[in-house]
Amino acid sequence: MSWSRNVFKNWSESVIHKIGDALADEGTGKEYKQMGRILKSSDIPECSGIYLFRDYRDEKNIYCGKTEGQTLRKRLTQHLRGDSRKLRQGEEYTVRWFAEGSSWFGSNTGLLEAIAVIYLNPERNDGNDWKTYLRGQNPTKVLDQAKNLGFYSNDRDEREEFCLRFIEYICQNI
């Protein structure tokens, strides 16, 4: 899916990594380098958050996840080493994350992941656990979190587009 604007402006910079390859600072001596960027585990923050894997060209959403009581560094390192059913060994992906370090961020990574899964519709998020995190939520809080994720701005048309896409996804997946 192509975006008319940068919906990831509040996320980390996109980095490319081949699943199963060692990270540059893990003492293996092997550095996986692509487009001038070497991914090191020390690049990944030690806090909670959500993350997104996209295809090598950074065009197609593959998988979105949350840290679930771990740090982003620990959870992403597990995925990048190949300890995941959702990502294919030897395949190259771009990865970015949204860290808890943001001043507005609450401790509800489940809600943030639910919003991201609904809005981005990654191809390998096959469960419906987003329902659990949305049930009973204040709609204003959901919209505020979506705005903070960068999925729309103060522009009324962007907010309306987000709301329509959100409602359409929920109606198709209930």
Residue type present at position 28: T
Q: What is the pLDDT of residues 60-113, one digit of tens each?
A: 999 999 987 888 988 888 888 887 788 888 888 889 999 876 444 456 788 999
Q: Which two tokens stand for residue 33?
A: 């380098």
Cβ-contact 125, 115 below 8 angstroms: no
- Cα→Cα distances 147→119, 132, 159, Å: 11, 21, 8
Q: CA 105 to CA 48: how far, in whole Å?
A: 10
pTM value is 0.83
Q: How far apart are CA 106 and CA 83, in angstroms?
A: 28
Residue that is written with structure tokens 């489940």 in the block: 110
pLDDT over 90 percentage in the chain: 18
Per-residue pLDDT, 82: 80
d(CA 80, CA 171) in angstroms, rounded, equals 33
User: What are phi and psi for residue 137, nearest 5 degrees?
Assistant: -75, 145
Is 29 a residue whose pLDDT tops 70? no
The closest alpha carbon to 70, from 82, 79, 81, belongs to 79
pLDDT at 20 over 80: no
